[in-house]
Amino acid sequence: MTIARIAGNAGARNAALDGLRGLAALAVAVGHCNLAVTGLDLWGRTVRDLAGMSAEAVGLRLLYLVAPSDAAVTLFFVLSGHVLWESFLRGRPGPAEGPDYLVGRAYRLLPVAIASALPLGLILNASAGELVANMLLLSTSMNGVLWSLQTEVLCSLALFGAWLLAGDSRARLVALLLSVLVAAPAFRGSNLFLFFPAFLLGALVGACPGRIWARRSTLVAGLALLTLASFVLSHGAVARPFEMLGAAVVIACLRARPPALLCARPILFLGAVSYPFYLCHTTGLELAVRLEPALGLADPVARVAVLALLSIPVALALAWFLHVAVERPAMRVRPRLRQGRAAAPPSYEHAPDRAPVAET
């Protein structure tokens, strides 16, 4: 499939959000290359630590602001909440559609997850049991990023429940968001309560009218809040609400005034393959980590650059193949599986989402 065809297929959706998805996936891949060299210690440093760090370490820490893998997690969750809720508003599913929605979400996520696990399992010499567990998202032992897909499944099911409770009532949706935020401290360690507010904020994006979202200054403020929260405050639960709010502002701004950059064909290509790329970038990185020592590089900056140059092309090639050979055919077959004939699925199955991109 050519880039032109992929760009054409994005036309029915918000192309800017597709482009944002692609850039976020690329940022995660670069961020993980940085993490592979510098480790979690540098990743966890904040602005308060800069004074005692070397210039090289400062530069590598600032690279996380350009490729913020942790903020990308939040962005993808908010984006999933937004596009799923918009699809609910179009399709207006009721309780009877719950089982079909569950099947649709599993069908959307599992085919690519299953196929992408094969090359990684071969590289890692995984056992059959381990391979199957990772394919079915029951384990993250091979591919650590699968934790976010597990969270995506839980939160997207909870979002369907939120739709049944709130419907198109903005007031009920806000009340539900506040209730989850109040209850979250009692469920520390639960990814559902930690990240479900991101999905609910995404659901509220469409209910945010106003000319303020068309201002570039608002977009810049949202990007700053999204990317700088963990750098100023620290990673984890403290920064997450600010990241979620920043992600919601960014998405609202891109809906109101899509920038041309995000609609460029190469960016749309990244967006189209973002889900398989998310799953495959760890495979590319695993190969790169094994090849990089042979180059004998000591400089950390050079090592990060080499890992990116080695891993990202491999991951993109695998992602494109999975997009063409697995992802698109699977979505074409899904309606026939549901009704036994080539009928159009309910509109909520056409949600233009991609699975979230995880930080580790």
pLDDT tens digits along 142-154: 999 999 999 999 9
| Cβ–Cβ under 8 Å, residues 254 and 20 | yes
Q: What is the pLDDT of residue 207?
A: 85
| Cβ–Cβ under 8 Å, residues 179 and 141 | no
Q: 339-343 contacts: CB < 8 A, separation 24 or more?
A: none
| Cβ–Cβ under 8 Å, residues 312 and 34 | no
Q: What is the pLDDT of residue 344?
A: 41
Predicted confidence (pLDDT) at residue 130 exceeds the cutoff of 70: yes
| Cβ–Cβ under 8 Å, residues 261 and 19 | yes
In this prediction, residues 228-247 reach a mean pLDDT of 90
Query: For the chain, how many helices (H) and strands (E)?
Result: 15, 0
Predicted confidence (pLDDT) at residue 19 exceeds the cutoff of 60: yes
Predicted confidence (pLDDT) at residue 2 exceeds the cutoff of 50: no
Give the sign of the dihedral formed by CA 288, CA 289, CA 291, CA 296.
positive
DSSP-based three-state secondary structure for 45: coil
pTM score, whole prediction:
0.88
Average per-residue pLDDT in the chain? 87
Scan for tokens 């979690």, then name that residue.
Answer: 40
In this prediction, residues 217-231 reach a mean pLDDT of 95
More confident residue, 178 or 234: 178
Predicted confidence (pLDDT) at residue 330 exceeds the cutoff of 70: yes
Q: CA angle at residue 288 from 284 to 292, to 5 degrees?
A: 175
Residue 100: band (very low, low, confident or very high) from pLDDT cuts 50, 70, 90:
confident
